């Protein structure tokens, strides 16, 4: 009888520890949607559809921008584009995502920059329309702007 009580007590203690561990485990954070598309105008460097992909880890967030409609004007080496993506906040103001990460691109290749890093707060709703993407290559700044709201909607961060 004593062995059964010890076994039951150990099982209850292990169960309580497991539940306590779950209660203190960090909550998984997510941004929704994870991917959105915009129509962008980059002046003489091109215009068309671009895809934005977002990730979130606490207050740290990253965005990557890819477009087959907007192309590299010349061959570019890896990590050679200094980029700032500015997104408009639903409640006013903006949030900047910056970085120098990009794959190597041949002249005429689709443009891709990121991941670009920024800081978000829980509940932030960020939209490309009203913001811009500035890319500096060899001292030349290319500015792209969204010509309408992103689809399916703004990025909302947990």
CATH code (residue 93): 2.60.40
Q: Residue 94: what pLDDT?
A: 97
Query: How far is Cα 69 from Cα 109, in angstroms, rounded to an integer?
Result: 9
pTM here is 0.80
| Length of the chain in terms of residues written | 158
- Give 30-54 as a DSSP string: -EESSEEEEEEE-GGG-EEEEEEEE
Q: Residue 95: what pLDDT?
A: 98
Extract the residue ranges of the chain whose pLDDT is less than 70.
1-29
Residue 83, class by beta-carbon neighbours within 10 Å (0-12 exposed, 13-18 middle, 19+ buried)? buried
Number of domains in the chain: 1
Q: Residue 139: what pLDDT?
A: 92
Q: Residue 152: what pLDDT?
A: 97
Q: Which residue has the tokens 């490309």?
A: 128
Q: Residue 29: what pLDDT?
A: 64
Residue 17 covered by a domain: no
Residue 19 covered by a domain: no
Q: Residue 104: what pLDDT?
A: 97
Full domain range(s) for residue 111 = 31-157
Find, among 65, 71, 74, the residue nearest to 98 by Cα: 65
Find, among 68, 80, 73, the residue nearest to 44 by Cα: 73
Residue 140 covered by a domain: yes
Query: How far is Cα 121 from Cα 59, in angstroms, rounded to an integer?
Result: 6
Q: Residue 45: what pLDDT?
A: 86
Q: Residue 2: what pLDDT?
A: 47
Q: Residue 3: what pLDDT?
A: 46
* Sign of the torsion angle spanned by Cα atoms 94, 128, 144, 97: positive
Q: Residue 14: what pLDDT?
A: 37
Q: Residue 69: what pLDDT?
A: 83
């Amino acid at each position: 009888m004593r062995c059964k009580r010890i076994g039951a007590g150990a099982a209850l203690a292990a169960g309580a520890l497991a539940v306590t561990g779950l209660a203190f485990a960090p909550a998984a954070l997510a941004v929704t949607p994870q991917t959105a598309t915009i129509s962008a105008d980059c002046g003489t460097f091109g215009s068309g559809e671009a895809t934005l992909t977002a990730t979130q880890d606490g207050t740290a967030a990253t965005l990557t921008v890819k477009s087959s409609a907007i192309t590299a004007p010349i061959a570019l080496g890896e990590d050679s584009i200094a980029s700032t993506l500015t997104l408009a906040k639903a409640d006013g103001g903006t949030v900047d995502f910056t970085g120098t990460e990009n794959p190597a691109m041949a002249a005429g290749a689709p443009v891709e920059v990121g991941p670009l890093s920024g800081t978000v707060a829980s509940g932030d709703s960020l939209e490309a329309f009203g913001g811009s993407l500035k890319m500096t290559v060899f001292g030349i700044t290319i500015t792209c702007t969204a010509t309408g709201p992103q689809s399916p909607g703004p990025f909302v961060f947990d």
